[in-house]
Amino acid sequence: MQGMKQFVPTDLKIRYINQLLKTGFDTIDFGSFVSPKAIPQMIDTAEVLDNLEIPTNLITGNKTKLLSIIANLRGAIAASQYSKIDYLGFPFSISETFQLRNTNSTIEESLETVQDIQEVCLANNKELVIYISMAFGNPYGDVWNTDICLEWVDKLNNFGIKTIPMSDTVGIANPENISYLFKYLIPAYPHIEFGAHFHTQTHNWHEKLESAYKFGCTRFDAAIKGYGGCPMAKDALTGNMPTENILTFAHEHKLETGIDVFEFFTSMSIANEIFPNANQ
């Protein structure tokens, strides 16, 4: 919702996310403790959180975990006070230009922020999820190669980070660099759960999933109807990986997802109210 200009009413957000919580996802990114000036859509995150109910999944017996995005230490401190939140997610870009645009800090400054946020998480029983933004390249001309990704993962590993989604922030990942990254990352750091946060178009979503899954990635981020994109990255948004596409992929590969199909289609109907013109 962060890129939408029209404010989504708080009660609609609550109804939608509570429905998603019935569906059986492992984790829901429910909101962000960020500057209301930068991202006004997230100004009601605390109120939304207070009204969320987290049921036990009838298929898996587990409860969906909640993740909040934060962009600085102040946001981490605010989010860590809520017992319902399991994960704090921080976007760490390996593109200097994007890190400055997204968090108003350099990569080295952001690395210090990661260390500070990790201390807050450890003190408050939260887990820090680091999204490596621009993991597959960038549109700004900043130097990028897969060795740079490996270098920064190694530094994050030294802080004890256990979950790292590799983020295709503007949708430029391809089967070759996806395969290369996961082929080397996953065996090198078996104690880290690497994920894929893809932004896609209708013609390339399947090849991106296939390339990551082939080399051991089983954690995928998605958004129903594929709506979204990062408003801090560039003017034109490239949509998120559609959740329904991942479920199709899972069905093709006979993978158990824990998703309740009936509840998922109910979630889809609410998504249609919020994102009537979403990119697929």
Cβ 94 vs Cβ 132: under 8 Å:
yes
Inter-residue contact 34 to 236 (CB < 8 Å): no
Measured between alpha carbons, how far is 33 from 87 in angstroms, rounded to an integer?
12
| Structure tokens belonging to residue 141 | 């001309």
pLDDT at residue 185 tops 90: yes
Instruction: Give Cβ neighbours of residue 221 (< 8 Å, ≥ 6 apart).
Output: 29, 165, 195, 196, 197, 198, 240, 241
User: What percentage of the chain reaches a pLDDT higher than 70?
Assistant: 95
pLDDT tens for 17-74 read: 999 999 999 999 999 999 999 899 999 999 999 999 999 887 778 899 999 999 999 9
Which tens digits make up the pLDDT trace of 129-166?
Answer: 999 999 998 888 888 888 888 999 999 999 999 999 99
For residue 230, what pLDDT is reported?
Answer: 55
**Single pTM value for the model:** 0.91
Name the nearest CA neighbour of 34 among 98, 82, 79. 79
Q: Which of 1, 13, 8 is nearest to 51 (CA)?
A: 13
Residue 146's SS3 state is helix
| Model pLDDT for residues 87-145, shown as the tens digit of each residue | 999 999 898 998 888 778 888 899 999 999 999 999 999 999 999 999 998 888 888 88
**Architecture of the domain delimited by 10-274:** Alpha-Beta Barrel (3.20)
Q: What is the dihedral of CA 19, 66, 280, 133, to 10 degrees?
A: 170
Give the per-residue pLDDT at 238: 60
| CB neighbour list of residue 154: distance below 8 Å, 6 or more residues apart | none
Helices and strands counted in the chain (H then E): 10, 7
Contacts of 243 (CB under 8 A, 6+ apart): 222, 223, 224, 225, 226, 264
Residue by residue, DSSP assigns 190-238 as: TTSEEEEEEB--TTTHHHHHHHHHHTT--EE--BGGG----TTT-SSPP
